[in-house]
Chains A and B, each alone.
Chain A
Amino acid sequence: MANRDAKKERLKEFLAEAEDILNSMGKGLLKLGKGVKAGIIDPAVLNGIFRSAHTLKGMSGVFDFTEMTSLSHALEDTLDLLRMGRIALTDDVLDCIMATHELLLRIVASRGESDLASEIETAKINLSRSYQIRKPKIEAGIGREFLSVLTEYEEHRFRENLRESRNIFMVNVGFPITNFDKSYVTLIELLKTESEVIATLPSSRTNHQMLFFDILAGTSRDRNFILALAGKVTEADIRVISEGSRPEGPREPAALELIKPSKDRLRQDSPHETLRRSSNSVRVNIGKLDNIMNIVSELFILKTNIAALSEDLKNQSVLSTSGIELSRIEKLLDRKLLELRDSVLDVRMVPIGQLFSRYETFTNKLSRETGKEIRMVTHGEETEIDKLIIEELADPLMHIIRNVVDHGIEASSVREALGKARAGTITLSAYQKGNRVIVEVKDDGAGIDDDFIREKAVEKGIVSRDYVKRLSRQETLELLFMPGFSTRDEVSEISGRGVGMDVVKENITRLSGIIDIDTVKGKGTRFILTIPITLAIMQALIIEDSRERYAVPLSAVLEVVEIRQPDDPAGLSNEITVNGRSIPSVRLSRFFGKESLQSAGTRYGIVVGLAEHRLCIIVECLVEELDVVVKPLSRLLKVSGIAGATDIGDKGTILVLDVTGILEQTLKERKSFVRV
C-alpha cells in the first residue's frame, strides 16, 4: 500500500512536470507561429520545442504512459525533420503540431484516464501526412568528404548558411592543454556574437602540449574581422570554405532566416551534456504550504496568549524587570511572526502572466475555428496572486474569453463595415487594489444589448415578463449568469449551449470574488473580476450573534456602524438609515433562520456591497479583529452565507461568513417576495 502511495505521488509529480514541459512547449509554439507568419524561424526555438517533445517521450516511457509516449514520439520525429530542414514548416505542419500539443495537454489533464486512443491515432496520421520529406541536395563545389564529418544537423545548418549566402570559414585555433576548456568556451562565446558556430572538429595537428580545433562558422562578416575576433583569445588561422556572393546586398527570400543567436543558446548548444537543471526553483505541493500556514496561524494564537500574560503581569505588580523583558520579547516575536507569515504568503504568489500566456494559444485556436481575426493584448502580467487562485481562475477566464469571441467580437467583414479594425482586440489586464486583484477581460466587440437579454430571458422562461420590466440595467446584465441562459439559439461549437457563464459566476463567488459587467452597445464589453490576493489568510472581524461567533472577512466589509437605539428591536424592518442613506438590512440570526435575542441596547451594522447593491447585516456584538486561515466546509454542507470555517485556537472553531452571498440571497428573496 505504501508502495502504491509512493507511486501515486511520483505519478502526480510526473503529471505536474509534464504540464510544465507542455506549457513551455506551448510558448515555443506560439513564438514559432509568429515566426512563420513573419517568415523568420529561430532555430533555437525549434530546438527548444524538439527537446520538450523528446523529454516528454522519455518521461512518459518511464511511467508507462504508452499513449503519451507514442504521440510525443511522433511529434519528436516531425520536429526532428523540421530542425534538420528535411521538411518545410508550412501552416499545415504547424497546425498539426499545435493540435498534437493540445491533445498531449488533454492526456495530462485527464491523468491518462480518458480514452483518447482514436484521437491519438488520428493526430499521428495527420502529423505524418502534413509534410513531404525533401531529399538533401549536394551543393556543387563542396566535397562529400567534407560533409561526411558533419552530423546531419550540422550539415543542415551548413547548407542553410550557404543558402543565406553567408561567408563560411574554418577557424583553426590551438590552446595549451592545461587551460583549453576555459579558453575554448571564451572563444566560442565570442564567435557566437558575430557568427553561427556550425561545428567544432578536432584537428589533426593536436600534440602533447597543444590542442587544435577547426571551428566551422557561418557569418556575414569578412575573414579579417573574424580573424581579429578570434585573435583576442588565441592565435588563429582562417580557411575560407565558401564566400557569400552578395555579403551586404539584398538577400534572396529564404524560408529560414537565422535570428542572431541569443545568450541562452550558448548554454543550449553547449556540447557538454549535463543532468543538472539550470533552474534553482523547487516544486512544492501547495498542500505543504497550507500546512505551514496553519502552523503560522497557530503560532499567532500562542503569541496572543503570551501578550495577554504579559499584560496581566503589567497590571498586577510593580514593574518587574522580567515583566518588561517579556513584553519586549513579545513585541519582537510579533514582528518576526508577521515576517514569517508574509514570506510564506510570498512563496504562494505567482505572477498572473503565467495564466495570461495560456490564453494566447487558446485565442489563436478560437480565431482559427471561427475565422474571426483576434488580437490579444495583456497588461499587468507581473501582478502577483496566490497560485491556488490562479488555478481556480483558469476555467472561468477561459469561458469568458470563449463567450467574448463567440458573442462579442464581430466577423471581420462586419467590423470593417462598422469602421472598426478588422481584427477584434481582447485585452486581459490585472492590477492590485488593496488586498484584492482586479482582472479585466475587455473587448472592442458588439457590446451587450440589454433589451435583447430581457427578451431572451423571458423567451427561455428564466424570468417572467412582468419581472423583467422592473430590472435595472445592471440587474438585467446579471441575467447572463443565470443557469440556462444563452444569447444564441444555435449551439455554437465554441461557447456550447450557453453553459459557462453561470459556472463562471459560481467559481468566482467561491473564491470570495465578485464579477461585474460593463458594456456599451457597439463599443464592447468589460468583464471585471475582483479577486482576493490570497485565500490562505485573511483579516477578519469576529462578531457574535445569537450566542454564536462568526468571522467576517474584512475585505468584503465597506463599513461598520453602531446602531444605538434600535427603533425596532426585533429587527423586523428591512431598511436602515446609514449616513443619511436608506439601505436594506437583515439580522444575521433571521438570515440563518434562528430566533434572535430580544435584548435591547446597541447593535452593530456591517455594510457590504456588490456592484451598486448595499446590505446592512445587523449583529449583536463585535468581538475582535483576527488574522484567520479559512478552511472550506465539507462539500456536503453547502450553505448560502457561509464561506468556510476557521480555528481560533482554544476558542474553538467558528464559521466564516460569505457576506456577498448573504447580500445576494437576501435581495433575491426580497425581490421574489415583492414579485408574488
Chain B
Amino acid sequence: MLKNKTDILQGNEISEDVRQLAAAADDNGGSLEYRSLNRGMIQIVSFHLLPNEYAFEVSDAVEVLKHGGLTSVPRMPGFVKGILSVRGDMVPIFDLKMRLGIGSSKDNLGRILVTFFDDLKVGFIVDRLSGVREVPLSSIVPSNGTEDPAKSLFVEGVVSVNGRNVSILNLGRLIDISGV
C-alpha cells in the first residue's frame, strides 16, 4: 500500500484528483490493515461514468493520469483502447464504459485510473474522479443476480454515499479477458 501511495505521489502528471486521493489516504493510513482493524470500514476511490458513480477499493488503485497518448494494439477486443507507457511499464488501457456495456468514452477526455491486481497494472478510462471515502462494510449491499446480469458480474456491491448509489467494482473480473 505504501508503495502505491508513493507511486501516486511520484506520478508524472499529478492531477488534483490524485492529490486529493493521496491526502485522503495519508489521513488515515490508507491500508488494508486499517480496513480490517478499524470497525469494519472499507476505503473506496469513487469516480463517475456519467451519469452513475462507481468505485474500486483504494488498495486497488495506483495512480491517476490524464487520458491521452495511447498506442492502439491490433486484434484486441474493442474495450482495449491500447497501451500507455507508465514509467517504462506498458499498461493496457480499458474503456471501462465499454467493458461494463454502458456505452463508450470519448478519446482524450477524462482520466485514466491505473489499478494493480496480482502483478498486473491496468488503466481504466473514467469520466472524472470523485474522491476517496470510507464506508462501513456492513452498508454494502451485495449485488444480486436480479439486476442486469452482465452488470452484476462486475459489481461487487452497492453502497449509498450521501444519498447516491455507488457500485463497487470487482477488479479481478474486469481484467480477466481470457474469455473475450
A residues near B, CB below 8 A?
1-2, 5, 291, 294, 548, 592-594, 631-637, 639-642, 644-645, 647, 652-655
Contact = CB atoms under 8 A, between A and B. Distances in A.
Q: Which of B31, B88, B92, B120 has the most CB of A within 10 A?
A: B88
Contact of A653 (B71, B74, B75, B120): B71
Interface in B60-83: 69, 71-76, 80, 83
A19 to B, nearest CB: 21
B147 interface: no
Contacts of A632: 90
Interface string B1-21: 111000000000000000000
B41 interface: no
22 contacts: A2-B2, A5-B2, A291-B88, A592-B75, A593-B74, A633-B83, A634-B121, A634-B122, A636-B92, A637-B73, A639-B73, A639-B74, A639-B76, A640-B75, A642-B73, A642-B74, A645-B90, A647-B88, A653-B69, A653-B71, A653-B90, A655-B73
B100 interface: no
B37 interface: no
Given A636-B122, A636-B175, A637-B83, A652 B75 contact: no
Contacts of A291: 88
Given A548-B72, A645-B71, A652-B69, A635 B84 contact: no
Interface residues of B, number: 25
A642 B82 CA distance: 13
Interface of B: 1-3, 31, 69, 71-76, 80, 83-85, 88-92, 120-122, 175, 177
Contacts of B76: 637, 639
A292 to B, nearest CB: 12
B176 to A, nearest CB: 9
B71 A633 contact: no
Given A294-B88, A631-B90, A634-B90, A639 B71 contact: no
A636 B83 CA distance: 11
Contacts of A592: 74-75
Contacts of A640: 75
A633 to B, nearest CB: 5
Given A633-B92, A634-B121, 7 more contacts: A594-B74, A631-B89, A632-B90, A636-B120, A645-B71, A652-B71, A655-B71
A642 B76 CA distance: 12
A659 to B, nearest CB: 15
A652 B2 CA distance: 30
Contacts of A5: 2-3
Which 10 A/B pairs are nearest by Cβ-Cβ distance? A592-B74, A1-B2, A653-B85, A653-B71, A634-B92, A645-B90, A631-B90, A639-B75, A647-B85, A636-B92
